[in-house]
Structure formats: structure tokens, C-alpha cells
Amino acid sequence: MNLFRKKSIQALLGENEQKNTALKKDLGAFDLSMLGIGAIIGTGIFVLTGVAAAEHAGPALILSFVLSGLACVFAALCYAEFASTVPVSGSAYTYSYATFGELIAWILGWDLILEYGLASSAVASGWSGYFQGLIAGFGIHIPTAISSAYDPAKGTYIDIPAIIIIFVITFLLTQGVKKSARFNSIMVIIKLAVVLLFIGVGVWYVKPGNWTPFMPFGFSGVTAGAATVFFAYIGFDAVSTAAEEVKNPQRNMPIGIIASLLVCTILYIIVSAILTGIVPYTELNVKNPVAFALNYIHQDWVAGFISIGAIIGITTVLLVMMYGQTRLFYAISRDGLLPKALSKVDKKRQTPIVNTWITCLVVSIFAGIIPLSKLAELTNIGTLFAFMAVSIGILYLRKSKTPIKSGFKVPFVPVIPILAFIFCGYLALQLPAMTWISFGIWLVVGLFVYFGYGRKHSTLNTSENRLRKIS
């Protein structure tokens, strides 16, 4: 029983070309950059900035974003090398199959199912809140019982708007990756325009006095803030799940991953500086800090645009997160570790339609019933765990003597992969103990699934058994 059997990079690339399960190669560098920005700019910048400033970092929120951004830049370089070397669906799961072997790959895949699934549900729940706030301005109110997740004390039982937006996004994803990417690009351009509008208006109302004291909670506050706003960066790794649908992945994957991350980091730092410069950090503990800041300086007309931009922003995050989840299921299923129905591709549209609707049902159940705070708890730790594995995977990849097609290479190896591992590990240690316990329980459940189903049905296991019979 070989738990650490590996898939060679040649075998992974060969699967990519199989006609019955092949995905259509439709995406270029621009599509990927937009996919990345679509996934990154959303809940983090429109929701979490205020809480992180008020409770953790104060005006030093800028440093929190720099710290989180550094962890992500180092990890992004590692992702870029893997994505250009192994341009196959599945992200960290697939890379781990090639470097660490099947059991570790399954653990990473199970971890990513948690990240994308819960992030999708959490984002849909956040979208519902913003949408209800917007229509309330027009005097339209959704009945309390169907306005939020299950909480009898508040009289809420199910979040219908969250479920509706998940079904709309799912329908779009089944129409093919090019249509989804085109829709995403239009939404991202609108979202970027809204962020730039905030910067253009807000910069004239900054009072440097609001930046004092700069670090009211000390450096520990900055690191706690970095762990909180890390959620704002989750998404660039979703770009790597698109690898199999990319034209010229050796060139376009690194451009998409690194360009999207750099654009977002610069915007985050500027927005957080302006936000804490307009409003005293103590008053920023609100759900819509960017719109709140504009109301604070009596620029209500801009605040309205920001609310629309936030809804658009969160919609694109949901699109990319659900896209990432479907491609992850596709990759794991193709390896036999999950039922084969999840890797069945529609002949006409060349997208995994059955898998997409199953994802829709699971995500909508979570989003409709489980409260947002509970959904968001585990997303950060799942992502950090994946980033750490990919960072160490680069060191394994470089040590292997396998001849591989040259693509992007991480500079200063082993320094950058080790820095990525240390930064992400440090941020993970800032998360509460309960998050670690919940994460541990999820991984134990995953091991039961692997030993109960995946190990026996694995395509590598089937191949080994066939060779044993022949010999």
C-alpha cells in the first residue's frame, strides 16, 4: 500500500490532452489578470479594512497589508513556477501530487475544498447583506425570515438572496469559461473604477492628525491585523486552478498571478491610508467602511456608487471562488479520489456541468443556513496551509531530476520559498485556537474519506493493480 505514490509531471500533462475530459483552452494573460483581480478585490477591501483598523492595527493597517502582501508575493512566485511547469487544473492539490505523493495531495485537495467552499458561501452571504442594504435605500425590504442564515433568536431561518446569487453564478459558469471570463473582466473594470473613485475623492479629505498614534495596539496589533486582512488576498491562487484552460501557460500563468497580486496590493495600501486618514480608526468598526468614510465627509453620492461597486466586487469574487471549486473537484475526480461524475465534461461547452451544479447545491446550503462569522473562520487557515505546502513543493521540484518544460522560475531559491513558508506559518499562528481545532477535525474527516473511498478508487492504484496482474 503506497500512500505516497506520485504522478509524474509527464503523466499530469498527458491527462491534460485526453479528449474525453479535456477543457477548452480559451484564456490569455489579460483574462488571468482580471480573474485574479476579480477574486482578490472584494470582501477584504470593502468589509474587513474597517474591523482590522478599529480592533487590531489602527492607522498601521497599511503595515498589516504590506505584511500580508509580502507573504502572498513570496507564495505567488512559487505558484507561478508550478502553474507554468504543470499547467493542469487543481492548483496546490495537483502540484503536491507531483512532489509529495498521493496522501499529501489528498490532504491538500481536501483543505482546498474547505477554502473554496466556505469562501464561496461566506462571499455569497456578504453579497446578500450589501444587496439588501442597497434595495433598502429604495424602500424594498425582504421578509426577515428569509433575509439571513439560521438564527431563530433574530427570527431568521434562511438566506434566500445568497442562494439566488449562487444559482445565477452557477448558470454563468456552465456557459463556458470564455463567457465567464468576459463577464468577470467587465465587472472587474467597473470595480476598479469605483476603487479609483474613492481614492480620487477621499485623498482631498485626509487629515494627517488621524494617523496619530500610528500604531496604537503595538506591533502585535499589526500582525493580528495582517492575519485578519489576509482574507483580502485570498483568490490569487484561484488563478492557478485555470491553468488547463490557458493558451501558452508558460508565459501567461506567471503574468496573471503576479500582475493581479501587485495591482491589488498597491490599491489596498492606498485605500487603507486614505481610509484611516479620513476617519479616526476608532470609528471604523462597521460592515461597510469605505462607504461609511464617504458618508463621514458628506460625499453621499459617491458612497452610493461605492455600495454598487462593492456588490459588483463581491459578485466577481464569488464567480472566481466557485470556478476554483469546480476545477478542484474536476482534478481530484479525474484522479479517482472522488466519484468520476465530477470530472465529466460537457461535449458542447467543454465545462464540467454536473460538477458545477453539485458545487452550487453544496455552497448554497452552507450560505443559506450557516451564519457568515462561522463560514469565514476556517478560510484563512486553509489558504495558509496550501501556500506553505506549495512553497516547500518548489524545493522538492528543484531537487527532482525530471526533465520539465521550462517556464517561469522562482528567483533566489531556496530563500524565497523558505520566506513564503515562514511568513505564512507566522500568520497562521496568529489565528485563534478554535480555528486550529476545527481545521484538525476537517482533516481527520478527510482521512476517513481517503481511506474509505479514494485510496481504492485512485487511478494510480488501478494502474498498479493492472501491472501486478500482468507481471
* CA–CA distance, 121 with 358 (Å, rounded to integer): 14
The predicted structure's pLDDT at residue 21: 53
For residue 469, pLDDT beyond 70: no
Whether the Cβ atoms of residue 87 and residue 95 lie closer than 8 Å to each other: no
| For residues 419-425, average pLDDT | 92
The predicted structure's pLDDT at residue 27: 80
**pLDDT, tens digit (0-9, with 9 covering 90-100), for 308-321:** 888 888 888 888 88
Cis peptide leading into residue 143 (ω within 30°): no
For residue 428, pLDDT beyond 60: yes
Which residues does 21 contact at the CB level (< 8 Å), separation at least 6?
A: 15, 334, 343, 344, 345
* CA–CA distance, 346 with 359 (Å, rounded to integer): 16
Angle, alpha carbons 189-251-14 (nearest 5°): 115
Which residues does 410 contact at the CB level (< 8 Å), separation at least 6?
A: 77, 78, 80, 81, 394, 416, 417
For residue 403, pLDDT beyond 60: no
**pLDDT, tens digit (0-9, with 9 covering 90-100), for 81-97:** 888 877 777 778 888 88
For residue 444, pLDDT beyond 50: yes
Average pLDDT, the chain: 84
DSSP string, 86-123: S--TTTHHHHHHHHT-HHHHHHHHHHHHHHHHHHHHHH
Number of helical H runs and strand E runs in the chain: 21, 0
Backbone angles phi, psi at 297, to 5 degrees: -100, 15
The predicted structure's pLDDT at residue 170: 93
> Mapping DSSP to helix (H, G, I), strand (E, B) and coil, where does residue 468 land?
helix
**pLDDT, tens digit (0-9, with 9 covering 90-100), for 115-172:** 888 888 888 887 887 788 778 778 888 998 888 777 777 788 888 999 999 999 999 8
User: pLDDT band at residue 361, thresholds of 50, 70 and 90?
Assistant: very high
Amino acid found at 381: I
Tell me the CA distances in angstroms from 64 to 222, 264, 313, 391, 463, one per residue in order: 5, 14, 22, 21, 48
Please count the CA atoms within 13 angstroms of the CA of 286 that sit on its side-chain side: 18
User: pLDDT band at residue 45, thresholds of 50, 70 and 90?
Assistant: confident
User: pLDDT band at residue 199, thresholds of 50, 70 and 90?
Assistant: very high
User: pLDDT band at residue 19, thresholds of 50, 70 and 90?
Assistant: very low
Which residues does 429 contact at the CB level (< 8 Å), separation at least 6?
A: none
For residue 28, pLDDT beyond 90: no
Which residues does 335 contact at the CB level (< 8 Å), separation at least 6?
A: 7, 97, 458, 459, 460
- Domains, the chain, ordered by start: 9-470 (1.20.1740.10)
> What percent of the chain shows pLDDT beyond 70?
93
For residue 15, pLDDT beyond 70: no
Greater pLDDT, 363 or 48 = 363
For residue 451, pLDDT beyond 90: yes
Output the pTM of the full model.
0.82
DSSP string, 348-379: TT-S-HHHHHHHHHHHHHHHHHS-HHHHHTTH
The predicted structure's pLDDT at residue 405: 60
Whether the Cβ atoms of residue 233 and residue 64 lie closer than 8 Å to each other: no
**pLDDT, tens digit (0-9, with 9 covering 90-100), for 31-42:** 888 888 888 887
**pLDDT, tens digit (0-9, with 9 covering 90-100), for 325-343:** 888 898 899 888 999 888 8
**pLDDT, tens digit (0-9, with 9 covering 90-100), for 201-223:** 999 999 999 998 999 999 999 98
The predicted structure's pLDDT at residue 18: 58
Residue 263: left (phi > 0), alpha (psi -120 to 50), or beta?
A: alpha
